Structure formats: C-alpha cells, structure tokens
Amino acid sequence: MTSSKTIRSQLLVTDTCVVIEAHRHGVWQALLDQCHVVLPATVVDEAIQVARQFDEFRLRLEEEIEAGLVQSPSLDASSLQAVLARCPGFPGKIDPGELECLAFVLDNPDQSAVVCSSDAVVFRYLGWLQMSESAVSLEEVLDALGLSRPLPKRLSKAARVNWTQKGFTEALQSGFIQL
C-alpha cells in the first residue's frame, strides 16, 4: 500500500485493537477521512467495551455509523461458519470480532477489502489461505496516508509479514497447501 488513492479504493476492515490504537495515537479521524472503514458489529461492541477503560479518548462509533463514516455490517452465522470450515486443521483460536472481519473480507473478494489487525491469528489465517494481500498493518496504512509514527511492534508491517509467512508455512507443513 503506497498511496492514499490505494487506501481510499479499498474497504479497510479493522478489528478492536486497531480502533483503540488509532484513537490512542490520534489518527482515527484521518482513517475516517481517507479510508472506507468497515467495523463489523461485534467489533463495534467490543471496541465500546474496551474503550471504557481509557480516559484519554471517547469513542463515537454509533454516531460515525449513523453519519455514514463507518460501515458496520452484521454477518450471518453461515458466513462465520464458512471462515472456520475453510481451513480445517487451522491451529489458531479466532475470537468473534476477528471472525467477523475475516468473514467480511472472504465474502467480498471483489471489493478489495483488507483486514487491518494486530492479531497474529488473523494474519496466520490469511497466510493459510495464501491471501497475504488481504492483510495490512496499521503502520502500513498510516505510512500510505503520510502519517507515519512509532507504533507497538504488533501493529507493524514486520509483524504482519512474519505472521502471514508463518501461517503459510504452517499450512504447507500440515498438507493444507500443496505446491
């Protein structure tokens, strides 16, 4: 991801950690201004619960959804089950918000949706599917928007690359991927 045009043309599906970290680093508004942000319903609920622990910022996700700044789909149970069924033997535990993010991306391959996460399991899962192009770190998004700043390692491109490669390797070793 190298330009804001690229970011703007994609659906940026974020998980709870990215919502919280974007607020903590003061870049949430920039994401809303320059990206098509998608927060699955479970992520919205999780983020609101987690944000109550912080005094430094206030989430306004419901207002942003109502204003059309954030898309917040609810995915049906069959979409969520399809994520789990798609990778039999996957050795990671995917939480409900991560599951909805992955389901949205897998249900919308023609919309250039990418998952922005900090969770290794999300990146590993996409590595299993050989879909590393469907994953992006917050660092990469901010770099593309010209908003580079120091972030925790789990939000870095290096972490994303490491975990997608690890997922690919695990899938190869398990026999899920045949070369």
Mind listing the domains of the chain with CATH numbers? 4-174 (3.40.50.1010)
pLDDT > 70 fraction of the chain, expressed in percent and rounded: 95
Distance CA 96, CA 79 (A): 12
Q: Please check whether residue 52 is in contact with residue 41, taking contact to mean a CB–CB distance below 8 angstroms.
A: no
Does residue 9 register a pLDDT over 70?
Answer: no
SS3 content of the chain, % helix, strand, coil (to 5): 60, 10, 35
Strand order in the sheet with 135-136: 70-71, 36-38, 11-14, 113-116, 135-136
Residue 87, phi then psi, degrees to nearest 5: -125, 70
Q: Please check whether residue 58 is in contact with residue 64, taking contact to mean a CB–CB distance below 8 angstroms.
A: no
Does residue 89 register a pLDDT over 90?
Answer: no
Average pLDDT, the chain: 91
Does residue 16 register a pLDDT over 80?
Answer: yes
pLDDT at residue 1, rounded to an integer: 43
Does residue 5 register a pLDDT over 80?
Answer: no
pLDDT at residue 54, rounded to an integer: 84
pTM confidence score: 0.91
Can you tell me the mean pLDDT for 5-10? Answer: 56
Can you tell me the mean pLDDT for 159-173? Answer: 97
Least confident of 37-46, 70-79, 105-114, 140-149: 105-114
Can you tell me the mean pLDDT for 31-49? Answer: 95
pLDDT tier, 124 (very low <50, low <70, confident <90, very high otherwise)? very high
Does residue 7 register a pLDDT over 70?
Answer: no
Neighbours of 17 (CB within 10 A): 23
pLDDT tier, 8 (very low <50, low <70, confident <90, very high otherwise)? low
Give the chain's radius of gyration (CA, Å): 16
